[in-house]
Amino acid sequence: MIPIISIVGRSNTGKTTLIEKLVPELSRRGYRVAVIKHAARGFEIDREGKDSWRYKKAGTYKIVLISPKELALMEVFEREYNVEELMDLYIKDADVVLLEGHKDNPYPMIEMLRKGVEPLPWDGKEHQLIAFVGDKSQDAGIPHFHVDEIQKLADFLEERYLRR
């Protein structure tokens, strides 16, 4: 089973930046890293007038864009897929999956903390919290890493979740 780690926190706490730093460190250590980003407000990856945009407007439910080195899939669906469904459908060969967001899931979570930003309310999910990352300290008996301690965070994740 592929380990899944959620990076959670309020808006503008640095979730994307942390993942952006963590992916190359884990990759350097030989791990294939996949990322699933939850976009609660939706997103748009295509521009008006481009072929794939035109196909979508015409009613196509699934579009695959392929080039010599990249593939993108756009799919219109009736309901949001959960993480397990996404894993079954699209992620089969990763060594670890980092989720950005998805705070309502059963996976281990790292919360991003920033000075001046309230931490998330945990409401019974405290057992999923494995670490804090950020410039704000949280006294909860849980490991805390500064945003620049990527190697230490990677060591922690490797030791607890990624050892082969």
Residue 124 DSSP symbol: T
pLDDT in tens, 30-42: 999 999 987 766 6
Q: Where on the phi/psi map is residue 124: left (φ > 0), alpha (ψ -120 to 50), or beta?
A: left
Output the furthest CA–CA distance in the chain (Å, rounded).
Answer: 54
Q: What is the pLDDT of residues 89-116, one digit of tens each?
A: 989 899 999 999 877 888 999 999 988 8
* Residue 59 pLDDT level (bands cut at 50, 70, 90): confident
Mean pLDDT of 68-78: 85
Give pLDDT, residue 37.
Answer: 87
